[in-house]
């Protein structure tokens, strides 16, 4: 069974960078394992962090099915649904050490219910073909609430030192306890200005996987839109994510 890591938290806490570094560390540490990175955030930041140019998304596949139905070509629609597995693998970008798949951003504004529902099916469909799957989730609670992440094995919640950030991860954990069949969960406290503030934070009893200080090196990479694979091993975020992964392994 695949280890499925879902990275969640409020917007602006650095979860995309953390998800990208997780992919980097898993690919480097487990070259024998098949790894898939899924950009499930409509903000589509994971592709940039991993240095990937997206040419096809899950939403593109969904639109093909919709277009076939709207054109009255029922047979083609049925065939597309039956062949979704192959279309999904066609949408994957193969990189050195991992594969990448993007949900995409629907052109129409508003609810992402349909694409989220399709994403849930995609995760179930591809899980048996990979050893490790890292999902950079949409900011907030929507994908957890709609059971998009229903069968993840590792729920990694990311917060900064703000009260709003800790409230969001506690809310996500509470909802996940009811709706997600996860095996392990923990929080990464990111962008900590001073480690002394950790003792003052209310994390609702969530186990802390790692605390990561403000990382000027990562900030420079973000501004330049550079691939996190080029971050040095002693970068604060690389060391912090490595500690979090090690902590998860310790609790195996």
CA–CA separation, 75 and 3 (whole Å)? 36
Candidates 189, 131, 120, 184; CA nearest to 155 is: 184
Confidence of residue 45 (pLDDT cuts 50, 70, 90): confident
Contact 117, 143 (CB under 8 A): no
Of residues 111 and 120, more confidence is placed in: 120
> With 90 as the cut, is the pLDDT of residue 193 above it?
no
Instruction: Give the pLDDT of residue 84.
Output: 64
CA–CA separation, 11 and 251 (whole Å)? 28
Contact 169, 206 (CB under 8 A): yes
pLDDT tens, 86-119?
778 888 999 989 999 998 765 544 445 566 666 7
3-state secondary structure 64-113: HHHHHHHCCCHHHHHHHHHCHHHHHHHHCEEECCEEEEECCCCCCCCCCH
Instruction: Give the pLDDT of residue 110.
Output: 46
Of residues 75 and 140, more confidence is placed in: 140
Instruction: Give the pLDDT of residue 184.
Output: 93
CATH fold of 3-250: Rossmann fold (3.40.50)
Q: What are phi and psi of 102, to 5 degrees?
A: -110, 140
> With 60 as the cut, is the pLDDT of residue 76 above it?
no
Domain range list for the chain: 3-250
CA dihedral 43, 123, 116, 70 (to 10 degrees): 110
Handedness of CA 101, 106, 112, 114 (dihedral sign): negative
> With 90 as the cut, is the pLDDT of residue 140 above it?
no
Least confident of 108-122, 173-187, 188-202, 222-236: 108-122
CA–CA separation, 241 and 56 (whole Å)? 29
């Amino acid at each position: 069974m695949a280890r499925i890591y879902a990275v969640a938290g409020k917007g602006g806490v650095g979860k995309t960078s953390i998800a990208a570094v997780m992919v980097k560390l898993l690919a480097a540490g487990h070259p024998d394992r098949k790894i898939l990175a899924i950009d499930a955030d409509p903000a589509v930041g994971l592709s940039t962090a991993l240095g990937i140019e997206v040419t096809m998304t899950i939403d593109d596949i969904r639109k093909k099915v919709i277009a076939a139905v709207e054109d009255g070509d029922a047979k083609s629609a049925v065939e597309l649904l039956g062949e979704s597995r192959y279309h999904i693998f066609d949408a994957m970008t193969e990189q050195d050490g991992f594969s990448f798949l993007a949900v995409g951003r629907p052109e129409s504004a508003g609810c992402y219910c349909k694409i989220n529902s399709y994403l849930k099916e995609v995760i179930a469909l591809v899980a048996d073909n990979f050893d490790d799957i890292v999902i950079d989730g949409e900011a907030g609670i929507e994908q957890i609430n709609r059971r998009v992440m229903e069968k993840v094995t590792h729920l990694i919640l990311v917060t900064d030192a703000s009260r709003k950030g800790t409230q969001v991860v506690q809310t996500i954990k509470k909802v996940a306890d009811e709706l997600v069949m996860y095996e392990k969960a923990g929080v990464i406290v990111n962008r900590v200005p001073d480690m002394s503030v950790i003792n003052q934070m209310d994390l609702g009893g969530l186990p802390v996987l790692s605390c990561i200080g403000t990382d000027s090196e990562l900030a420079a990479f973000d501004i330049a839109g550079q691939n996190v694979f080029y971050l040095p091993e002693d970068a604060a975020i690389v060391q912090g994510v490595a500690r979090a992964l090690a902590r998860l392994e310790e609790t195996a």
